[in-house]
Each structure stands twice: as C-alpha cells, then as structure tokens.
Amino acid sequence: MGRAELVVRGPDGAGTVVAGGRSGSQPESVVQPVWAADGALWFLADRTDVWSLYRWTPGGEPELVVDVGSDIAGPQWVFGQSRFALLPDGRVVLAYGRDGADRLAVREPDGTLNELDLPYGSFGQLRAAGDGVVCVAGGPTSEPVVLRVATGGRTEVLRPARELGLDPAWFSRPEHVTFPTEERGSGVAEAHALVYPPANPRVDGPAGELPPLLVLVHGGPTAAASPVLSLAVQYWTSPGAFTVADVDYRGVDRATAAGTGEALQGTLGASPTWTTSSPAPGGWPAT
C-alpha cells in the first residue's frame, strides 16, 4: 500500500492533510478523491484494512460512509479508475468484490445499501449518468460491454461485446470456492478459486468419476481471477472433459475478507507457491 497524503489547500495556500501518509507499520492508501456539489470530499482509503468509502467536509474529520468488509478500490496500475460515482440526488453507486465477483450497489442518502441483482461479475469505470451510472461490465456469459445501470437495477447495453456466434449453453459458469492452505506466518490460512465445471450440452462424463482439474495461476501479486467470460477457459471446459480452477492465491483476491491484502508483505514470491501446492479444491485430481 502507498504512503501518499490527500491534502486540501485553501485560498491562503495552507494545506490540510485529510488522509493518508500514516507512519509506522500500517500506512494508509488513499485513492479516487472526488468533490461533491455540496463541497464534501469523497475518497477511498484502507484504514480498516480494506479500501472503504469516506467523506470529509472542511473543518471536520473523515467519516466512514461505506465499509463492506472487502475492497471497493482495486490495484492502482492504471490512471483514472473509478469504483464509485456520486449522483446529483445524494445517492452513491459503488462496486466492490465479494465471493470472487464484483457487486454493484446503491447507497441511499439515509445510509441504506441496496445491492443490485445483475447478471455481471465485473464492474469498472463508473460514471454518473442521469439516475444511475455508465460503466464497463462483464460476466460469465459476456465479454466486457458498456452498460448503463439505473439505481433501480434496470440496464441498457450501450456498446455490446463482439459477436462470438456461440450458444451460451456451451459456457461454463464459475463457482467461487474457498479452501485451506498453509498459514506460514501470514495470518491467512485459506485461498480462493473460481472453479469452472465441464460444460458441453452433448457430452456427459462417466458416472461416479471426477474430471481432471486444470489449475490456472494468474500473475501477481495484485492481479485477481475474474469471472468475466474467457475463451481461454472455455476452450478447456467446452469439450466436457476438464474442470478449470482459476486460483486467487492468498493475499491477492480482491473479493475476500479484510486483511488478506497485506498477507504477502515480506513473503512476496513465496506465499503463492505455498497456496498452489495445497490440495486441489474439491478433491479433483490436478493436472
């Protein structure tokens, strides 16, 4: 995590440190500062061990507005990321990870958080638009699209994904699983994976037998497995012969509980090996 400070400078040039830059073993990472129309400053910070949503008004202290127990922000490898959007009526639309996929939710002015039921598992680049947002979204049966989402859950695809000419019946839908791994001083003794079962409407495997398991390990340490349609994964599952486990090794899954984001501190390059050498999730024979 970074040590950058979020500083607001007044007309006289004096600066007020709003957040970030904490000394000691727990520096604070602050991302996506956005001014609201009422003069409040909204931002994401990880002082609760996950990136949560805060609001600051001049002369006051930062107020924790939304903490869902998992990261709202993501790794800052690309400029201009946006995981929340402020609407003119005071509502906030935000995306966060949970159980291996993104969720999109609306925070009402009274603090109520309403999670929208949408057929997508990845949301990014949220921008306010009318009574909702425009974003980039993808899911188990769809490559990324440009999507308009109203606060009531109504959606409109503004720019569709490419036409694949494939029947969705051939697409394997992932299941998020959690399995034990070695703790090795990290404080986290579990890892996660998106497991794709064989999917072929014309083929059934032998009764009573499990298919071979192909294990995928993404680059790291800040990448994460994504539930968005991947033809590279479907290549293996569509013959009806293989199960694919796309592993999120310890400390890198954006959609897990608080604290896992720090699990690789001091052990970079070692912890992923411990995780993937653990027994395969579900007892499948690994390949």
pLDDT digit string (tens) for 126-161?
999 999 999 999 999 999 999 999 999 999 999 999
Look at 133 and 286; give whichever has higher pLDDT.
133
Fold category of 5-159 in CATH: Neuraminidase (2.120.10)
Q: What is the DSSP letter of 17?
A: E
CA of residue 248 relative to chain centroid, distance: 12
Average pLDDT in the chain:
85
More confident call, 133 vs 241: 133
Question: Averaged over 195-222, what is the pLDDT?
Answer: 89
Q: Map out the domains of the chain as residue ranges.
A: 5-159, 168-283
pLDDT greater than 90 at residue 45: yes
Q: How confident is the model at residue 224 (pLDDT cuts 50, 70, 90)?
A: confident
180, 282 in Cβ contact below 8 A?
no
Q: Is 283 exposed, middle or buried (0-12, 13-18, 19+ CB in 10 A)?
A: exposed
Report how far residue 141's alpha carbon sits from residue 263's, in angstroms, rounded to the nearest whole number: 32
Planar angle of CA 174, 179, 184, nearest 5 degrees: 135
- Is the predicted pLDDT of residue 71 greater than 60, yes or no? yes
CA dist 81 and 102 (Å) reads 15
CATH fold, domain 168-283, is Rossmann fold (3.40.50)
